[in-house]
Chain A
């Protein structure tokens, strides 16, 4: 199984994933990426500040497989005060 590395790029710089994980294919890696971003966002929501300016970059060792902006991992429905 290929090994995928999940690097987080955010305001604090790049958090490199030095371990990586063996996953079946790029689809599984994408799903893991979504879960990863969502767990960060949900923890931030509990603290009251959600910063969606980060990106999760998934590499397979040779190349960039996926670049997932945090904002693409969740659907936001902003409240409309006039509604």
Chain B
């Protein structure tokens, strides 16, 4: 099976067999496992390695002095934790595993070499960074303009699409290990409020949540409530192209 990083980047650029093989080798070369709740990168760390999530789930977060936490992003398989490693002296935020998570670890030097030699990979990585920023922009819209129900609905629908991209869904059903506390820290709500809002979504027949599995029972309804426009995930490009990747992505949204 294609590794999730290649899968994600191939939404943007189709790689040759040789390039795919090179990526596969790179992904296989050095891997590290992190336990649930273990930090992958800490604010202040000097980093000279890139981490790409292969399996599991991680968060990008900041801790405030009073102990409050803001989650800026959920990182799913195929996501790069630290694209800024080339530019920044040290991490200005932290990344932690939420569930047992496996990363591939690539030294900054290897990554730079790869980007110099394979320009379509550099483009794909740039594209990936841009779409990550677009996801972050949605969080700003959340906090500025969406009410609690819309915010939660938007996040759940977005996770459905992002898991579909890397083939981690079974129809509208997917593993959802995110706790109410983590949802609260990502949406600026409280766990009590999240719990009550999730009940509303359940009662409206939009979702079902059972033993860490989320099923979107009414995708159109949830999409409408969230006023979800998938343009920010920039999937459109691959629709223009033919072949296996285009087919996989075509039905995503």
Q: Give the interface of A toward B (CB within 8 A).
A: 6, 8, 10, 12, 15, 17, 19, 21, 32-33, 35-37, 39-40, 43, 46-47, 56
Contact = CB atoms under 8 A, between A and B. Distances in A.
A8 B193 CA distance: 9
Contacts of A37: 192
18 contacts: A8-B196, A10-B196, A12-B203, A15-B196, A15-B199, A17-B192, A19-B181, A21-B181, A32-B190, A32-B191, A32-B192, A35-B190, A35-B192, A36-B190, A39-B190, A40-B193, A40-B196, A43-B147
Contacts of B190: 32, 35-36, 39-40
B247 interface: no
Given A17-B180, A39-B193, A40-B196, 14 more contacts: A6-B195, A12-B199, A15-B196, A15-B199, A17-B191, A17-B195, A35-B190, A35-B192, A37-B192, A43-B147, A43-B148, A43-B193, A47-B147, A56-B192
Contacts of B199: 12, 15
A34 B210 CA distance: 28
B192 A8 contact: yes
A19 B183 CA distance: 13
B229 interface: no
B2 interface: no
A36 B193 contact: yes
Interface in B167-197: 179-181, 189-193, 195-196
Contacts of B179: 19
Nearest to A54: B196
Contacts of A46: 147
Contacts of B203: 12
Interface string B135-151: 00000000000011000
Contacts of B148: 43
B69 to A, nearest CB: 13
Q: Which of A8, A12, A17, A36 has the most CB of B within 10 A?
A: A36
A36 B189 CA distance: 8
A31 B244 CA distance: 53
Contacts of B147: 43, 46-47
B7 to A, nearest CB: 31
Contacts of A33: 192
Nearest to B192: A36
Nearest to A35: B190
A42 B203 CA distance: 22
Contacts of A35: 190, 192
B195 A39 contact: no
A76 to B, nearest CB: 20
Contacts of A43: 147-148, 193
Shortest beta-carbon contacts, A-B, top 3: A36-B192, A39-B190, A39-B193
Contacts of A19: 179-181, 191
Contacts of A32: 190-192
A21 B191 contact: yes
A9 to B, nearest CB: 11
Contacts of B189: 39
